Chain A
């Protein structure tokens, strides 16, 4: 009897929370969640804290001329109500994510299923995108086309950085150095020797690749945070050199009057040049997509991913770590070189101010927000991060605020990025598959 007595309360505690029993998996989840009342209290606390923090700027208004102080109490209420509801919304979303109660299949899954069911759908979508791109500069104004050019340039840069960060897993914060190398390569060659865009383009890529290898050598042994710091320093060094070495780079005043891509002697207007450049960028983006997707599913691409996943196992599989890292750095840098060359041709003026750490951060954000290792993700990320600020100029003061908020939300709710990377599935004849039972 005493034994039974001792056991009884513990059973009661786990099984009957509030009168009815749940399946074991759901029950565990319920136990893990804090109580609703506690949540409300916490949100209330946050709201009060926000009211206190924003009190000086939101409520008090001092007018030095009239020597009066205006108290705007109603604003305090708005701040409190806003903070409370946002906090509750946040909690609800976190709860939903952890509980996995969303009945809808993820959008990405549904989309990929939509395209898999019929091959023709994919072809149609691609054709539509192609036609839209071809007609884009004729439908929209020069201004719109110009914005689209920069967005596409960032797509290219993002895809390039994706090789280094997304595939090989090397966190590179100095990517902008290669972008600068490409831009200055074209600008200087054009300024001193009158070299044209098409000649400079491959040269810019090659020089950036060589620089990638130069950066690669000293950082071969580094990983994670250490690698990030060194590459960050490298990016800043390049910018400072460009800013101070007047004889070479003309310092902060930069290089002006860089030729636009040769117009075949047709005498393009500014609009003509913009359209021409738009098609060049489209072509290069297409090329990048083909190259990156082919590399990703090749022997080299698999070595990169193996290196990202586990360095020791990767070496034990006979992969040369040094070579694999250097090819990743070099190939990633190549696209930055192309991008820099395009930038110089587009703006016809460059100076070191275009190559601050902010650029590296934006390109990295594109990769992380879009989805590391995923091509369509990076494209989407670039469009969102580059086009949104352009079209929301009215809110330009809050740009960085929105940027930060977007990153936090993505990291909490979708850490793999907007579109997560999927691996290629290989096709086999069914009879080969039989093998043994799993």
Chain B
């Protein structure tokens, strides 16, 4: 693994019973790169995310990450929280916010793995614990400001409109200070202006030194934002390359649109 990569996946295979969800998938994410993973429904994109974040344990293959300034590390079989602690954060396709908590608290939960206050600190409200709480709150607040939710900090998360909930999920993921951010359909269900806003937000996050791997169905967003694209179909990697290369690839067109009549 050379120094320019943050994620290297080799031969990743995952079976659900008789169904092969992922077959020998290879994928790389470079430092400061935006990589898109696309494919028709049921192609195995979310399964791929779930393998990287250890929600699923893949049957075969290696997943190696290289946090900035650290040695490469294999992450197969780690607990999900350990993967997050190493610096991979994600959002979910069907929004999974903590609905009963306030917007700010949702983001503060994201700070959990970067803070250390224990039970004793909380009970005795030590100076150290209070300072950490204060810092955690400020950090969470700055994340909210970054995604444009600064003035809704006290609202209940479930009361936010749909687009804002998606952005809150990103803020919550960013609060874990990741070097690699996995976005699962960040623009799903958004109108064009909200999608443009998401485009700008993702670019801004990249400028701050976070690599991004995203699943997305909105082709306009994918084409404009990504440096490289991987295409999955029925668990197989059928194409990869720059947006132009992938857009012209006949196998990709076939996977999305089917066989042409005069072929």
- Give chain A's interface residues, CB within 8 Å of chain B: 291, 294-295, 298-303, 305-306, 308-310, 312-321, 327, 331, 421, 423-426, 428, 432-438
Contact = CB atoms under 8 A, between A and B. Distances in A.
A433 B151 contact: yes
A319 B172 CA distance: 13
Given A310-B97, A312-B80, 20 more contacts: A291-B123, A298-B122, A299-B117, A299-B122, A305-B98, A306-B98, A308-B100, A309-B97, A313-B92, A316-B81, A316-B96, A319-B109, A320-B81, A423-B100, A423-B102, A424-B102, A426-B137, A426-B153, A432-B150, A435-B144
B100 A305 contact: yes
A426 B122 contact: no
Given A299-B115, A426-B104, A433-B150, A317 B109 contact: yes
Given A315-B79, A318-B176, A426 B154 contact: yes
11 contacts: A291-B123, A299-B115, A300-B117, A306-B109, A313-B96, A315-B80, A318-B85, A321-B81, A331-B119, A437-B148, A438-B149
B123 A319 contact: no
Contacts of B45: none
Which 9 pairs, one residue from A and one from B, show the smallest C-beta to C-beta distance?
A435-B150, A318-B113, A298-B122, A318-B84, A436-B148, A313-B96, A315-B80, A309-B98, A435-B145
B90 interface: yes
A303 B172 CA distance: 13
B202 interface: no
A303 B112 contact: yes
A316 B91 CA distance: 9
Contact of A432 (B110, B111, B141): B141
B21 interface: no
B242 interface: no
Contact of A433 (B81, B122, B148, B153): B153
Given A294-B125, A435-B150, A436-B148, A319 B113 contact: yes
B84 A316 contact: yes
Contact of B105 (A295, A302, A310, A428): A302
B118 interface: yes
B74 interface: no
B251 interface: no
Contacts of B36: none
A438 B152 contact: yes
B53 interface: yes
B122 A438 contact: no
Contacts of A421: 100
Nearest to B107: A317
B78 to A, nearest CB: 11
Interface in B6-56: 53, 55
A305 B101 contact: yes
A84 to B, nearest CB: 40
Interface in B136-161: 136-137, 141, 144-145, 148-154, 156
A300 B119 CA distance: 7
Contact of B100 (A301, A303, A309, A320): A309
Contacts of B101: 302, 305-306, 309, 423
Contacts of A301: 122
Nearest to B177: A318
B64 interface: no
A291 B122 CA distance: 8
Contacts of A295: 119, 122-123
A153 B130 CA distance: 31
Given A294-B123, A300-B119, A306-B101, A316 B148 contact: no
A309 B112 contact: no
B129 interface: yes
A436 B172 CA distance: 18
B255 interface: no
Contacts of B92: 312-313, 316
A134 B118 CA distance: 34
Nearest to A303: B112
Contacts of B114: 318
A293 to B, nearest CB: 10
Contacts of B111: 299
B204 interface: no
B220 interface: no
B108 interface: yes
B145 A310 contact: no
B81 A428 contact: no
Interface string B64-105: 000000000000000111001100011010001111111011
B190 interface: no
Contacts of A433: 150-151, 153
Contact of B149 (A320, A434, A435): A435
B222 to A, nearest CB: 23
Contacts of B144: 435
